[in-house]
Amino acid sequence: MKILILTNYANGLYLFRKELLTALQEDGHTITVSLPPDENCKKLEQLGIDIIETPFERRGNNPVKDMGLFLAYLKLLKRHKPDMVFTYTIKPNLYGGLACRLLRIPYLCNITGLGTAIENESLLSHILLKFYKISMKSAQCVFFQNKKNRDFMNRYGVACHNHKMLPGSGVNLTEHPFEEYSSEEDGIHFLAVIRIMKDKGIEEYLEAAKVIKRKYPKACFWLVGEYEEETREKYEPKIQELVDAKVITYLGHIDYVDKVMAKCHVIVHPSYHEGLSNVLLEAAACGRPVLASDINGCIETFSPGESGIAFEPRRVEALVEAIEKILALTSQERRQMGIAARAWVETYFDRRLVIKAYREEIEQRKKENR
């Protein structure tokens, strides 16, 4: 089959779905990806995947530009004539899904998270929900990554009868092996791997680091993640100030997060909303306990009290309390939490489960065409 993938970010597709892409190629399918161009496209090209550059603003709300994306998808689908289309993230799901529906091309949508634009009760959220209902109606399958997102969307009539659950993007347990718990001789290292934006909890992490550092000078706080262009001006000075004060170590955007996780002892994820957190899955695979927001999309990835600690999002005090709880444990207890974390993802989040779900949908389509 000729499979076309519509998405908004090359690196995300590569990091979390390259095993799916490779498996489909091994099955004899031809894979083409449409996305905005950036330096990460070469990673996909090295897998033997054709790239179609389709520029658009990932987070903009300009209706004229978005209509241009819809028309670009229509043109692309008519020219490429795929047998099946996969869509990921909001704009490809909405505009790509609608284009597929109009052209009667089979499509699978993956709702990786809702975001504040959907979750906030507002005129925009109601418009988007109606749009989702229209775009998803003819999808062969709409994949959800957590039950709360599914129930929310179903309540508004979105994908009520054509959905399935996925364990997020899953985690490659071979590529992300268990790492022995490192020595705490130089202090306990906390790590946050988040995009530098408010909804990912950056403000709470920075404030909690300041509070804990004053009380526990040997605690170390590391931060990995890239700025969004619209947030750089706001957060770069704050982060640089804390770097200069030796409160945090900022590593920027890196492609070797596993190596950093292996050197750390606890992973912190203070996000406000998630589809299902890949960071937490990779942390658990590595064998590290986690402190994570008590929200759907995070809490599925660990066993509270056994492999991690949940805390109320958007509250610095709640994060500080969670950090102090894990600091109160012995080194052996923290190590044991990491071992339990690895066992959890081995049981429930093997990435092969995701590959199996997509293969089943492709086989279903083949049967319908016979």
Residue 124: per-residue pLDDT: 83
Q: Give the up-direction half-sphere exposure of residue 212: CA atoms within 13 A in the CB hemisphere.
A: 29
Across the range 141-159, mean pLDDT stands at 93
Residue 60 binned pLDDT confidence (cut-offs 50, 70, 90): low
Residue 210 sits in the same domain as residue 140:
no
State yes or no: pLDDT of 139 exceeds 80. yes
Site of tokens 């610095």: 316
Residue 115 binned pLDDT confidence (cut-offs 50, 70, 90): confident
State yes or no: pLDDT of 144 exceeds 70. yes
State yes or no: pLDDT of 307 exceeds 90. yes
pLDDT tens figures, 171-223: 999 999 999 999 999 999 999 999 999 999 999 999 999 999 999 999 999 99
Residue 56: per-residue pLDDT: 86
Dist. CA 204–CA 312, nearest whole Å: 11
Residue 360 sits in the same domain as residue 321:
no
Site of tokens 């894990």: 326
Which residue range(s) make up the domain with 15?
A: 2-170+351-369
Residue 329 binned pLDDT confidence (cut-offs 50, 70, 90): very high
Average pLDDT, rounded, for the chain: 93
Residue 135 sits in the same domain as residue 243:
no
Give the lowest-confidence range in 20-29, 50-59, 127-136.
Answer: 50-59
Residue 31: name the closest of 55, 52, 57, 50 by CA.
Answer: 50
Residue 73: per-residue pLDDT: 97
Kind and range of the H or E run holding 266: strand 266-269
Dist. CA 189–CA 96, nearest whole Å: 43
Residue 121 sits in the same domain as residue 227:
no
In the chain, the number of structural domains is 2
Residue 199 sits in the same domain as residue 86:
no
Residue 195 sits in the same domain as residue 237:
yes
Across the range 332-342, mean pLDDT stands at 97
Residue 75 sits in the same domain as residue 203:
no
Dist. CA 201–CA 301, nearest whole Å: 18
Dist. CA 50–CA 4, nearest whole Å: 10
Question: Which residues, 6 or more positions from 252, have their beta carbon under 8 angstroms from its beta carbon?
Answer: 224, 225, 226
State yes or no: pLDDT of 58 exceeds 80. no
Percentage of residues in the chain with pLDDT exceeding 70? 99
State yes or no: pLDDT of 119 exceeds 90. no
Domain harbouring 15, CATH code: 3.40.50.2000
Residue 343: per-residue pLDDT: 95
Dist. CA 121–CA 318, nearest whole Å: 25
Residue 255: per-residue pLDDT: 81
